């Protein structure tokens, strides 16, 4: 599929084709109202009358009641590209008797409801943000707002309104990372991350005015996509032999860029060629990567992550009843899919966790649930200053696993006895089980990290991600607060002390940052 097709499928139509969509006529009288207890009013300001008509029509077709004028009957006010302050000021001037009862919502609540075919529950991300408007009356410009250059001072939910641009920038950033072009990688990563936090879709270049993190190169990409709907650099990357091989080879668990480049240099282009090569030696991890390739490359779903969590929790509790298992990573940020499932294991009592990880993995093996494990022992005995590198690996004991998840456990969360074929604590990597008739299980990548109680909040903050959020949090800490942060702790360079924290909220407070919820860290 070309990137044009991919981007076209995202519901954003390039400039030239856009006008047609807005010419839908209003025919609401024909549609039955299915949801009697809410009446929507859509604010035209900064949305435009044709888009407003289109949205009103859409909602009416789906059984919602939408009123043309704001009156006391209205229950839900929906706005796009406006801050809460702006809408609230406007509502105050409408002299309503029930203004305080009105639900003042962002367009994301409306679009989520349209997608669900019913009014969805109002979540925090559906509320309009309070924002300081610097220039609100620029013709053609969206609200230009004070947006921080640091992702840790922005709220980025999974509701990315600029996917058409971020897909392109992410891919180009990834290629810069492959080529070790750190400057361009950082510049593109910051630009794409900023777009993910915007409460509106970029629809013209004027929307970028006043935003940090954009330079000539990144602006040119946006401009091209606005003009043509596609980015020529992305188009050519998708046809680039080296990029394609690097993507393909690094999609195998255990294969990093160095190995991918080696295979590419040796002339290999497909996984079949690599697997068939006589003189290539694979690590234990790579062998597992090839064996469970299909499963590992089909995303883990949230119900699968929950089922794995239940298994791990039961086993950890059997080993040490006062230990806790905490889901982290992308799923904690509200993602519905991930490439793996990340868990922190922690004990209330000091020292009790010493053998916990090995015991847990042994039990998984005995229950026939272990397909692969790769331990990394803790590498830090005494407290050290946090690393100066924003991307540095932490020192916790951890294990990278591939688990065999019985599909019957997904959704119903009943822990059944493993099937007879599964209860064999043998070397699973040698078994050709992947090819058996009915495969009632899925191989799932799981990371387990053992964390001492007093470092738990820092580890949780670090492992919740996203990668860009963490990088910017550390950069902010260093540049703005003269402190150093990593997954183990926070060091105040001026006072020369480590700052203790029991919760993530306390860490944000140490850094004088407004608390950003995990689901707002999808930077």
Instruction: Give dist(CA 10, CA 8) in Å, integer.
Output: 5
Task: Phi first, then psi: give them for residue 35, nearest 5 degrees.
Answer: -115, 100
Beta strands 497-499; 490-492: pairing state:
antiparallel
CB of 478 to ligand DCT, least distance (A): 16
Residue facing Mg ion at closest CB distance: 329
Is 329 among the residues that bind Mg ion (CB under 5 A)?
yes
Nearer to ligand DCT, 208 or 446 (CB): 446
Residue in the structure block whose two tokens are 């010419």? 23
Q: How far is the CB of 288 from Mg ion (least distance, A)?
A: 18
Residue 485 CA to residue 504 CA, distance in Å, equals 13
> What is the smallest separation between the CB atom of 193 and Mg ion, expressed in angstroms?
17
Residue 339 in contact with ligand DCT, rule: CB under 6 A: yes
**Interaction of residue 393 with ligand DCT, rule CB under 6 A:** yes
List 329, 334, 368, 489, residue binding ligand DCT (CB under 6 A) = 329
Least distance CB 7 / Mg ion (angstroms): 26
Among 340, 486, 504, 520, binds Mg ion (CB under 5 A): 340
Q: Do 65 and 91 form a contact (C-beta atoms < 8 A)?
A: no
Residues 464-503 that bind ligand DCT (CB under 6 A): 465-467, 470, 487
Binding status of residue 335 toward ligand DCT by CB under 6 A: yes
Binding ligand DCT (rule: CB under 6 A), the pick from 338, 368, 386, 489 is 338
DSSP string for 100-161:
GG-EEEEHHHHHHHHHHTSPPPPPGGGBPPP--EEE---TTPPPEE---SSGGGS-B-S--T
| Binding span for ligand DCT by CB under 6 A among 19-27, 243-251, 337-345, 427-435 | 337-345
Binding mask 19-58 for ligand DCT (x = CB under 6 A): ----------------------------------------
Applying CB under 6 A, among 64, 268, 463, 476 the residue interacting with ligand DCT is 463
CB under 6 A: which stretch of 305-313, 343-351, 462-470, 510-518 binds ligand DCT?
Answer: 462-470
Q: Reduce the DSSP state of residue 444 to 3 states and report it.
A: strand
By a kind-dependent CB cut-off of 5 to 8 A, residue 335 interacts, out of Mg ion, ligand DCT, none, with: ligand DCT
**Cβ 464 to ligand DCT, closest distance in Å?**
7
| CB nearer Mg ion, residue 112 or residue 520 | 520
Q: Per the omega criterion (within 30 degrees of 0), is the bond before 115 cis?
A: no
Phi and psi at residue 385, to the nearest 5°: -65, 145
Under DSSP, the state recorded for 44 is -
Label residue 80 exposed, middle or buried (CB < 10 Å: 0-12, 13-18, 19+).
buried
Q: Backbone dihedral region of 80: left (phi > 0), alpha (psi from -120 to 50 degrees) or beta?
A: beta
Q: Which two tokens stand for residue 458?
A: 């820092």
Query: What DSSP element (H or E) covers 41?
Result: strand 39-42
Q: Which residue carries 């946006």 as its tokens?
A: 222
Please give the size of the binding site for ligand DCT, defined by CB under 6 A: 16
User: Kind of pairing, strands 103-106 and 76-79?
Assistant: parallel
Residue 460 CB, nearest approach to ligand DCT (Å): 10
Binding residue for Mg ion, selected from 342, 394, 504, 520, defined by CB under 5 A: 342
Query: Would strands 337-338 and 370-376 be described as parallel, antiparallel, or unpaired?
Result: unpaired
Both tokens of 375, joined, read: 């331990």
Task: Cite the active site residues.
Answer: 340, 342, 447
CB of 359 to Mg ion, least distance (A): 24
- The string of DSSP codes covering 67-97 is ESS--TT--EEEESS--HHHHHHHHHTT--S
Q: Among 229, 289, 309, 330, indicate the residue that binds Mg ion (CB under 5 A).
A: 330
Footprint of Mg ion (CB under 5 A): 329-330, 338, 340, 342
Footprint of ligand DCT (CB under 6 A): 329-330, 335, 338-340, 342, 393-394, 462-463, 465-467, 470, 487
């Amino acid at each position: 599929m070309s990137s044009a097709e991919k981007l076209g499928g995202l519901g954003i139509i390039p400039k030239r084709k856009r006008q047609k969509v807005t010419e839908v006529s209003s025919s609401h009288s024909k549609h039955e109202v299915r949801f009697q207890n809410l009446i929507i009013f859509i604010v035209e300001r900064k949305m435009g009358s044709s888009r407003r008509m289109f949205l009103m029509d859409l909602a009416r077709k789906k059984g919602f009641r939408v009123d043309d004028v704001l009156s006391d009957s209205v229950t839900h006010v929906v706005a796009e590209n406006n801050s809460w302050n702006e809408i609230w000021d406007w509502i105050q001037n409408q002299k309503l008797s029930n203004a305080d009862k009105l639900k003042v919502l962002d367009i994301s609540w409306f679009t989520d409801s349209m997608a669900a075919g019913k009014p969805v529950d109002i979540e925090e991300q559906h509320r309009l943000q309070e924002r300081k408007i610097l220039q609100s009356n620029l013709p053609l410009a969206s609200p230009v707002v004070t947006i921080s250059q640091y992702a840790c001072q922005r709220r980025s939910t999974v509701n990315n309104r600029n996917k058409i641009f971020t897909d392109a920038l992410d891919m180009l950033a990834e290629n810069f990372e492959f080529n070790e072009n750190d400057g361009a990688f950082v510049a593109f990563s910051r630009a794409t991350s900023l777009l993910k936090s915007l409460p509106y879709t970029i629809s013209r270049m004027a929307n970028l005015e006043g935003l940090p993190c954009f330079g000539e190169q990144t602006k040119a990409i946006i401009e091209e996509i606005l003009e043509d709907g596609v980015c020529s650099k992305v188009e050519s990357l998708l046809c680039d032999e080296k990029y394609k091989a690097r993507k393909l080879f690094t999609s195998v668990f255990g294969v990093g860029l160095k190995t991918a480049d080696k295979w590419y240099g040796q002339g290999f282009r497909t996984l079949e060629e690599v697997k068939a090569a006589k003189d290539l030696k694979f690590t234990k991890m790579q062998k597992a990567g090839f064996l469970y390739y299909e499963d590992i490359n089909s995303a883990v779903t949230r119900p699968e992550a929950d089922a794995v969590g239940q298994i791990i929790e039961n086993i950890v509790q059997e080993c040490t009843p006062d230990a806790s298992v905490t889901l982290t990573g992308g799923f904690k940020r509200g993602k519905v899919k991930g490439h793996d499932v990340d868990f922190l294991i922690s004990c209330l009592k000091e020292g009790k966790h010493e053998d916990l990880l090995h015991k847990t993995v042994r039990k998984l093996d005995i229950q026939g649930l272990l397909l692969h494990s790769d331990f990394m022992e803790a590498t830090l005995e005494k407290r050290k200053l946090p690393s100066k590198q924003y991307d540095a690996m932490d020192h916790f004991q951890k294990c990278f696993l591939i688990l065999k998840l019985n599909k019957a456990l997904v959704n119903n969360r009943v822990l059944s006895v493993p099937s007879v074929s599964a209860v064999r604590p043998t070397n699973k990597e040698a078994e050709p089980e992947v090819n058996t008739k009915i495969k009632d299980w899925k191989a799932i990548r799981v990371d387990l990290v053992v964390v001492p109680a007093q470092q738990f909040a820092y580890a949780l903050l670090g492992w919740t991600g996203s990668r860009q959020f963490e990088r910017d949090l550390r950069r902010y800490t260093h540049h703005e607060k003269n402190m150093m942060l990593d997954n183990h702790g926070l060091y105040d360079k001026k006072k020369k002390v480590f700052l203790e924290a029991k919760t993530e909220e306390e860490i944000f407070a140490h850094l004088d940052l407004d608390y950003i919820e995990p689901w707002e860290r999808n930077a």
